[in-house]
Chain A
């Protein structure tokens, strides 16, 4: 007798879910291009897009500018950040064998936040703020790993990593507070506070392209080894006995996820919750197998943040910081997932 996958619980969804999610994202992209204060109906959207690609400059140059200089970078950044955070979150949840883990667990977000706050305090340019944030995000994770390694090289590594990550996160949070405390309350303090709340309003074309390059480079290895994350979920010893080189795989996952998180946070600020909530939602749709879970998380995260950002820029007369909205939407949604069922995580 052979095994035919015909009535598996996730079988239908795992076959239909990825194409459906991709279509949903595509639809959301088109919709997001037309949404906004400068109205771009889908018909003229097509023309502007065509002219922009072919280089013909006959028609509506305002539409061109809005589309390529403002909306495209912003939409690209929303999609990339949402996808990156969800991807990093799903990978970490597998590696740390814990569905309650989010991508900032090793201190990447807090570190990046401190870097940005410091750069604002030192009156740096926008580009320098990003560089400071990115480097401090990476630095925080390197610090976590160095401390964790000196504490333990044994099988309890993941636990030590999580605890050390909490310590390092707290450390950098206090450093952020110190920076705010000494900042000029008239201009720098509000700037720091707003940066930390997150937002995509200031994202330019070059920022978006840089983010694209970084997140593509960091996502690729995660996608390639994604099936092995399943094995890691059974614990380091079992994974080793099944033939996995656990220390190297763990290092790869941490590097890639940290790169994704630091790149996103340094561009968009502290946008929370996506890395925690979206993988849960994806798991409800396609099951826990990382082979489909990882792409599903990326697609869902991208779609989710795109719509949250659309709401941020369109719903209210004043733009709402993105970090506030993701938490406002994410927290109740997470509660709903918890109430809805155990299927996703027990």
Chain B
């Protein structure tokens, strides 16, 4: 399965923030949207999710034109993992997860026993089944983020769109959430995520859409797209890409900003 974005321009009220962008993503791939504040990362994924209409260009899912889909049709294919925020009411965690079943329910229905089982299974997949009966608003930020991933999972989408899934998380939870994202990819999920941490694109071995100021971008595998030059162009910063070796002998890439 494949999402094809063709020459898309997006923005508000006719003013393009992202212009003429093309990329594609297939099952079993992670695509990271990288770029400094204000270049249109959020605008771009809001357009993919249908919160904004594209100003021009096309989006195809397996050849079907995505723009004409209803929100329900879209929800059957695309799952959205927002940045976790606290809702005004103290829902139980399992209730929050079961809301992922919305698109599969009839107009007047509420989740059946089977939907609840499926919600529970989604929690189990992420190893957080013990949270099922806890109050969602009382969970920690990392737990809430994983619960939202579980909610998107029981939506049974083919593509996950994640908005900075590791922001506001501590060091440990950042890594855990990222590991879960990679595990989902390995099971065949397509994942689009925005991030502010260039190291993550190497950790996930991702495809990258790197947005620069001035409505320009580059697109390709992480090693090609995230370099000293592109990082300087995006962040106006001197960044070295170090390649330390772990105890296991594996080489990793990390981005280290240096003062000029």
B-binding residues in A (CB < 8 A): 1-3, 5, 7-10, 93-94, 97-99, 155, 224-228, 230-231, 233-235, 237-238, 240-246, 283, 287-289, 291, 343-346
Contact = CB atoms under 8 A, between A and B. Distances in A.
A291 B92 CA distance: 13
Contacts of A155: 51
Nearest to A155: B51
Given A3-B119, A233-B91, A243-B103, 6 more contacts: A2-B120, A98-B88, A224-B107, A241-B71, A288-B89, A346-B137
Instruction: Report which residue of A98, A226, A244 has the largest number of chain B beta carbons within 10 angstroms of its beta carbon.
Output: A244
A245 to B, nearest CB: 6
Contact of B72 (A8, A97, A245): A245
A234 B74 CA distance: 18
Interface stretch (B76-84, B217-225, B243-251): B76-84
B119 A244 contact: no
Contact of A242 (B100, B117, B129): B100
Instruction: Report which residue of B102, B116, B117, B135 has the largest number of chain A beta carbons within 10 angstroms of its beta carbon.
Output: B102
B51 A3 contact: no
B154 to A, nearest CB: 11
B92 A230 contact: no
17 contacts: A2-B117, A3-B94, A3-B117, A3-B119, A9-B135, A93-B88, A99-B89, A225-B108, A230-B95, A240-B49, A241-B74, A241-B161, A242-B75, A243-B74, A244-B71, A288-B91, A289-B91
* Interface of chain A: mostly helix, strand, loop or mixed: loop
A225 B70 CA distance: 18
Contacts of B91: 230, 233, 287-289
B155 to A, nearest CB: 7
Contact of B71 (A93, A98, A240, A288): A240
Contact of A227 (B49, B111, B132): B111
Interface string B92-130: 101100011011010111110000110110001000010
A242 B103 contact: yes
Contacts of A237: 46, 49, 51, 80, 82
Contacts of B88: 93, 97-99, 233, 345
B109 A227 contact: yes
Interface of B: 46, 49-51, 70-72, 74-76, 78-80, 82, 85, 87-92, 94-95, 99-100, 102-103, 105, 107-111, 116-117, 119-120, 124, 129, 132-133, 135, 137, 151, 155, 161
Contacts of A244: 71-72, 102
Contacts of B72: 243-245
Contacts of B108: 224-225
Nearest to A283: B89
A230 B117 contact: no
B71 A245 contact: yes
Contacts of A98: 88
Contacts of A346: 90, 137
Given A155-B51, A288-B89, A289-B91, A243 B133 contact: no
Given A1-B124, A3-B119, A245 B87 contact: no
Nearest to A344: B90
B155 A242 contact: yes
A7 B51 contact: no
B90 A343 contact: yes
Nearest to A226: B110
Contacts of B76: 243
Given A3-B132, A228-B102, A241-B49, A287 B90 contact: yes
Contacts of A10: 92
Nearest to A343: B90
A10 B72 CA distance: 30
B179 to A, nearest CB: 22
B17 to A, nearest CB: 15
A289 B51 contact: no
A238 B82 contact: yes
Contacts of A8: 92, 94, 133
Contacts of A345: 88-90
B189 to A, nearest CB: 16
A233 B87 contact: yes
A30 B50 CA distance: 54
Contacts of A287: 90-92
B99 A9 contact: no
Given A99-B89, A230-B99, A231-B102, A243 B75 contact: yes
A93 B88 CA distance: 9
Given A98-B88, A234-B99, A241 B75 contact: yes
Contacts of B87: 97, 233-234
A296 to B, nearest CB: 14
A2 B121 CA distance: 8
Across the A-B interface, the 10 shortest Cβ-Cβ residue pairs: A243-B103, A243-B75, A3-B120, A241-B80, A227-B110, A288-B89, A243-B72, A224-B108, A242-B102, A240-B71
Nearest to A247: B71
Contacts of A7: 133
Instruction: Report which residue of B79, B92, B151 has the largest number of chain A beta carbons within 10 angstroms of its beta carbon.
Output: B92
Nearest to A11: B133
B123 to A, nearest CB: 8
A226 B155 CA distance: 20
Nearest to B71: A240
B99 A231 contact: yes
